[in-house]
Structure formats: C-alpha cells, structure tokens
Structure 1
Amino acid sequence: MTTPSRRRLVGVSTKMYFSAARTRDYVQQVKELLSTTPHLLDEVDVFIIPDHITLASVIGQLEGTKVLTGAQDAFYESAGAFTGEVSPAVLAEVGCRIVELGHAERHRLFGETDEDTARKAAAAAQNGMIPLVCIGECTQGEVSVAVDECRVQVEFVMAAVSDGAEVILAYEPVWAIGAAQPAAAEYVVDVAQRLRGLDCVQKREGVTRLLYGGSAGPGLFEKLKTGVDGLFLGRFAHDPSQFYKTIQEVATA
C-alpha cells in the first residue's frame, strides 16, 4: 500500500501556564512573526494548543491564518450527562482542529488508561478533528523496551480510530518531559522508526504523523528528521521568538 504523504508539523501546548491575557498576547506575537515569512506555512503545519477557557478566543484570533488550534483534552462521548467534561462535538463546532490526548500527566494525575485515551481519540476523529495522542515509555532504558511499551499504546488507539482518519502520534518519553535535555537523537530516531513500522501504522489508509516531544527546542529537528515529522513543544516555545525559530528550522531542515 502506498504510504500517504506526510507534511511536517510543529506545535506547542501552553498547559496551564498562561493567563488569558498572556495567551492573547502570545498568539498575537506568533501571528506577527509568521506574517513576516508567510511562505513558511506552505512548508509546515503549525498548531497552538491553549487552555480550554481561551480556546474559542484563540480560534478567533487565528481566523484567516493557516495555524491550527487544538484542545488539551476531550471526553469520549459527544453529549450527555457528563458534568465538567468537554464535548468533542462542541470543540469541532467552534473550530477546533486537533485534540491532544493521553499526556503522561493525564495518566499520572487523573488515572487515565490507554483504553480511555483510545476512546477519546475515536471520539475526536468521529467529530472531524485530528487526535494528537501522546505516547512514551516511563523509564529510560533499551530501545526495544521503549518500543514494546509504546506499541501497546499505539495499538489501542489504532484499533479504536477509523482506518481513514488522520492520527498524530507524539512520542514523548515520560522520563524526558521537563528534563534539562531531550532524549539522545539516535535513541529517538530508532524508536520512532520502529513505531512507524508497526503493522497497525503501516496498514492504515489514513495519514499517521509522528512528532517528538520532551524538552524539544531549536536545533533538535535536524538531528531527528529521519525518524519524525516534527516537534511538539512545551515550555521552551512559550517564548514566541523561540517558537518561531523552531518553526523555521522544521520547515527548512
């Protein structure tokens, strides 16, 4: 089967670090930087994932641009008596394009399982959005051990999501999240290439893109480009100029 084409992709999650005012200023600064080199967005997809409260306003700010807006989570049902949860149908209705799911913090703090993540990914895809599913091993060790741990997570998702839906996998070794340095480039590339070779990925009709996250920043993508399609950034990209610099590098590497 012919592998669907994959555009490069780079994005950031603000988690719960920003105030509403800072989110507004941040998005405006990113927009202004990108407007100086509009051709960049012909080469790479860019996304911003703010908190739920500011999501609708960020979608409004980015209207008319090619920048995608994402949500940090969504429930696995589209409607019903689920007090406090976020409906994927409503996210899609207001213009959300990507839903981040399965982050290590969701597992650690809220007890979410791989099955929960897979159900959420299926709901996001059913509502026309792209599930961005975080995967990763808990402890640093051998590549084969990392792949075995990640394989279970990937297989859950691919079994739940329709075969033709686009999926983004964000490979984030749990031990590297928030660390001073990212995982070694050779290690990441090896893990990524083996994950891309899994039957459940290879045999899909839909596009499956693979990002690296975990202390990612400028200068890293050049070392990883043979294994991944882009980067998923955290606190380093909370500086708009650093985010822009990384977008440039991913687009031109």
Structure 2
Amino acid sequence: MSAPPPTPIKPTSGNRPFIAVSTKIYFSYARTTSFTASVLSLLTSNLPSLNIDVLLIPDFVSLVPTIATIAAAAAPNPIINKILAVGAQNCAAHGSGPFTGEVSAAVLSEIGCAVVEVGHAERRRLFGEADDAVVRDKVAAVVRNGMVPLVCVGEETAMMECGRVEGERGVVAVAGVEGAAREVVRQVEAALESVDGEKEVVLAYEPVWAIGAAEPAGAEYVMGVVKRVRESEVVRSRKGTTRIVYGGAAGPGLWERLGGEVDGLFLGRFGHDPDQFVRMIYEVAGVSMER
C-alpha cells in the first residue's frame, strides 16, 4: 500500500496560528488510536470556521496508522488536510546507513509526516544530543526531505535573579529575559546554520525549567524572550515562514495571557485529553466551540 503524500504545514494567509501536541511515550497504541478518532470527531462539526494548523505528534509506531486515519477522514471532508497534520518526535541526523535503532527523515517523509520535532530538552539531556551540531544536522535532514522542522529551544534555568522592574502588566525580570533570549538566539543560530532562509521553520520556545512543571513560565517573561528572539538577526533575516510557539507546561488559558506575542502553543500532558486539546484548538483559533 502506497503511503499518502505529506501534507506540509503551510499557512493559507500569513502566519496563521499553530498548535501541536506530543504524546511522547505516555500513550499505548490503542490510546493513540482512540485519541486521534476523538479529536477528529470533535473537530469535524466546526472545521470550516477554523483558520489554524493542528499537529499531532505520536510515537513512531503510531505514525502510519495516525496518518491513515486522518487521510480516511479527509476523503469525504478535504478541509481536514488543510488543518490537521502529523509529525514525528525525532529523526536521525544521517540519511541512511548502519545506524541501528534510528529512523531517517527520508522514511518519515515517505510515510507522510509533515513536521519533525528536533532538539527537545529531553533528547538533549537524556540522549546525549546537547551538541549543537547534532541538532543542526537533524534540522538539515528534515528540511532536505521536504518537511518542516519544529526546533525546540530554551534556557536551562529561570533567569529571574538578574533584576526586576515594573512593567505595564506587572513585575518583569528584564535582565533575566535578556539572558534567556541570548541563550535561545544562540541555539536558534546553531540549529538553522545549514538551513536555507527561505525554508519554513517553527521554533518552539520551551524554557527547560518549565517542562513538566505545575505552571508555565510567566506570561511577561515568555513574551519578553519571544519578542527578542523575533527581533534577532537570525529570525528577521529569514524570508521563509518562521513561527514561534510556546511550550513548557502550556495549558488552558495561557494563549490569552500571552497577548498575541507567540504564534501558537506546543502541548504535552495538558493536551493529552482529547476534549481539552480540542478546546485549546478553538481557543488558539479564536473560535467559539460549538457542541
């Protein structure tokens, strides 16, 4: 059976909002199947009103059936393919060869993945991928195979001790924001070193200290870092679509607090309930959910 063609994440008009959920390895195969079916069922009633890119990132084993399920749902309802896509949680830096246990970007593209996540903090910390060159080579492999890299970047520790001033929306650690932004920009520069500036990328700003925490990083802190990253030369000089999303204990209500400074959200456990995930899709899309 031939694989469905990839459905690249491409905004229909400008940088439309983006929301993604990764199941990591929390889900069983059966739960992934059920989750995908539930999301499709909940979304289908109001699809025409949604101007958003939605990305599901299951485990490797579940990629093909998830892509097939979405393709089957899109056959009578083609608008699904304009909204919903599937991504992978990782890929090999190598194109092919004797690399046991790895999955190549070429194979991910062949089966219909649109996006590949690269450089997540857990990969950097637990699997020895802290080397900027590893992330750079993986990003290059993703782009080379016609997919969009979802590049995870973020500072290791909260930089709140450097100085605090009163801002319009409350106290902001300005000096801390500057330090975090410098580290994030450095990571972005390294990751995109080999990528054509006209290619599309998604940057996921995930403060490492916020991943798995009870609460996300403060809204002012996030907006300050993202604003500086967006104004950096590495991002400003790009002609390709470059969206910056926030991840790290991202959950309901955060989108509104971020005041439009980010282009979307990257969810982990707070998106693992299909009802809550779909509610957040509508929240980010700015559409009332009709049930």
Question: For the superposition of Structure 1 and Structure 2, which TM-score range results when normalised by the shorter chain?
Answer: over 0.9
Residue 21 of structure 1 aligns with which residue? 30
For 1:40-79, list aligned pairs within 5 A: 40-41=49-50, 43-63=51-71, 64=74, 65-66=80-81, 67-79=84-96
Residue 220 of structure 2 aligns with which residue? 186
Tell me, in whole angstroms, the C-alpha distance in 1 between the residues paired with 2:261 and 2:233.
17
Which secondary structure state, in structure 2, belongs to the residue aligned with residue 28 of structure 1? helix
**One-letter amino acid of the structure 2 residue matched with residue 236 of structure 1:** F
**Of residues 38, 41, 48 in structure 2, which corresponds to 1:39?**
48
For 1:109-188, list aligned pairs within 5 A: 109-112=126-129, 113-141=131-159, 142-188=176-222
Larger radius of gyration: 2
Tell me, in whole angstroms, the C-alpha distance in 2 between the residues paired with 1:40 and 1:82.
45
Tell me, in whole angstroms, the C-alpha distance in 1 between the residues paired with 2:152 and 2:49.
26
The Cα of 1:78 is off from its aligned counterpart by: 1.9
Q: Which runs of 4+ in 1 moved over 2 A?
A: none
Q: Tell me, which stretches of 5 or more residues in structure 2 are unaligned? A: 1-12, 75-79, 160-175
Which secondary structure state, in structure 2, belongs to the residue aligned with residue 125 of structure 1? helix
Which secondary structure state, in structure 1, belongs to the residue aligned with residue 192 of structure 2? helix
Tell me, in whole angstroms, the C-alpha distance in 1 between the residues paired with 2:48 and 2:155.
36
How many percent of aligned residue pairs carry the same amino acid? 51
| Aligned pairs, number | 249
Q: Deviations over 1:25-81 (max 9, x none)?
A: 00000000010111244x110000000011111010111222110000001122222
Q: Tell me, which stretches of 5 or more residues in structure 1 are unaligned? A: none
1:220 aligns with 2:220: no
> Does the CA contact (< 8 Å) of 1:122 and 1:162 recur in 2?
no
1:203 aligns with 2:220: no
Q: 1:196 to 1:21 in 2, by over 3 A?
A: same
Calculate the aligned-residue CA RMSD, in Å: 1.2
TM-score by length of 1: 0.96
